[in-house]
Amino acid sequence: MKHTFRTALAAAAVLLGGAAHAQKITADQATQFQKINQVMYLIANGYVDTVNMPKLVEGAIVNMLGQLDPHSTYLSAEELKTEEEEVEGNFEGIGIEFNVLRDTIVVVNTIPGGPSEQVGLMSGDRIVYVNGELKTKVKLNDVPKFLRGPKGTRADLRVVRPGVADTLEFSIVRDKIPMYSLDAAYKVDKNTGYVKLNRFMATTNDELQKALGEMKGISSLVLDLRGNGGGLLDQAFRVASNFLKPGSLVVYTEGLNMPRQEAKTSDEQPLYGDGKLVVLVDESSASASEIVAGAMQDWDRATIVGRRTFGKGLVQQQVPLNDGSAIRLTIAHYYTPSGRSIQRPYKQGDAMSYYRDFADRYNSGELTDGKAAAVDSSQVFKTLVKGRTVYGGGGITPDVYVPIDTTGYSEYWSGLVRKGVLLEFAVTELDAHRAEYKEKYKDFDAFASGFSLTPEQEARLVELGRSRGVELDQKGLERSRRLIAAQIKALIAQRLWDTTAYYRVINAETDPDFAAAVAEARK
């Protein structure tokens, strides 16, 4: 029994940074390890009924990790496979962006160069059969289970296409499908570029560099990290290398059993080292996003615009277990170049309070007026070039605060969004008028300046909402009219062109964060 635990412990020590740095196991800890082993042995050999031992063990692991910090987690083998595919930036499947509308799979877009695009699947197609099985009344989370699959396998689809009387049949050979972390990249004007990253994965820096290379002549850039929950640490400092001098410290990590480790920019000259930079963040910007924003702020390289970031500054080490599952165990803290801890306070074993932070920020007024912004005055630091005061203790506090915009929010708008009415209306509008839109709007600029939701379209939207259980609230409609119209326009643009078109509409018509960032970039 003792030998088993010593072997496991030695393996864990190597995985967590090397046995030389592992904390010595006390006699009391060794007794607790033996206690767990005894209990499992007694259940397996003495319990009155049959026991699902894998389920029991998983439950014990989840409960143990739940008594630690909010980011130490357990991943089943299936969950681990899915996450690894997303982090690596590709998976194997048919290559579509999809949504589920009224229990039916609707193709939003085909992924460029993917197998679905090659056989002629189109935006707006409804997938009703997959390999002979009816796939109506499906849930969104279930769709990848039958559309994804090993490269070389076949997916036979029967599709309903608006305006076509008969169903269409497609035979699609699955392949590796690239996933992208760059949602949008375009020139706001001749001098100002805009890039939005949704996460940090294996291809992030390559995507960013490609976008920067295509933006000829810009002298200012808005890097939008709002809603970006992080990802790979190496991609964070690779992204930072595009903006900072060679060899600049981006972040360092340190923990009880982990010595200080530093991540610095590469020795190459930065791709965008001189132009003005604005980094846009919000309360959902976390981890790798905070590393980039913190480094830019500490080196006085960028102006940070938006709201205080999430505050996730804990480093997880992924340790594989013998059945293909894994745990992610927190082993260190992230620190910005000036020495600030990104991590906001938490109580061990109380993840619920930790994740209630957004509501707490809203209720305190931090998100709406900034007056209650949480700043730990005991953790004062100085930026490394200009000596400006910055604070540690929980996220990155922006240089330019922008309150969250709720002016267009209403219960009526919320109901339309939750019931999928806005999406359904945009899809059905294109079903009926796609050819007319293509003829009338030759490119995005023509659409952006020429399209607006008409009173007749609004009336049809209201009626569709009513048929889906969202009764008209006239005051709510008036309050949210501009927001609703912009979202419909953006959804149509996305389906006519791409995701960049969606953000071009939303940014220009309903986004004060974006407006503030662009104003800062133009100074």
- Dihedral pair phi/psi, residue 374, rounded to 5°: -75, 110
- Dihedral pair phi/psi, residue 149, rounded to 5°: 170, 170
Report the distance separating Cα 360 and Cα 4, nearest Å. Answer: 46
- Count Cα atoms within 13 angstroms, Cβ side, for 444: 17
Report the distance separating Cα 375 and Cα 372, nearest Å. Answer: 9
Report the distance separating Cα 283 and Cα 298, nearest Å. Answer: 19
The edge-to-edge listing of strands for the beta sheet with 220-224 is 182-187, 192-197, 220-224, 276-281, 303-306, 400-401
Report the distance separating Cα 279 and Cα 288, nearest Å. Answer: 13
Check 135, 196, 312, 489 and give the catalytic one.
Answer: 312
Q: 306 - beta bridge partners?
A: 281, 401
Q: Which helix (H) or strand (E) holds 474?
A: helix 474-496
Q: Which helix (H) or strand (E) holds 262?
A: strand 258-264
Rounded CA Rg of the chain: 26
125 flagged as catalytic = no
248 flagged as catalytic = no
Q: 320 - beta bridge partners?
A: 326
- DSSP H helices, 379-473, are 411-418, 421-440, 444-450, 455-467
Check 298, 357, 511, 513 and give the catalytic one.
Answer: 298
Check 287, 325, 338, 480 and give the catalytic one.
Answer: 287
The CB density around residue 246, as the number of other CB atoms within 10 Å, is 13
What is the CA 521 to chain-centroid distance, rounded?
Answer: 25
Report the distance separating Cα 461 and Cα 224, nearest Å. Answer: 31
Instruction: Say if residues 100 and 138 touch (Cβ distance below 8 Å).
Output: yes
Instruction: Say if residues 383 and 338 touch (Cβ distance below 8 Å).
Output: yes
b/e per residue 75-99 (b: at least 16 CB within 10 A): beeeebeeeebbeebbbbbbbbebe
287 flagged as catalytic = yes
Active-site residues, by number, are 287, 298, 312
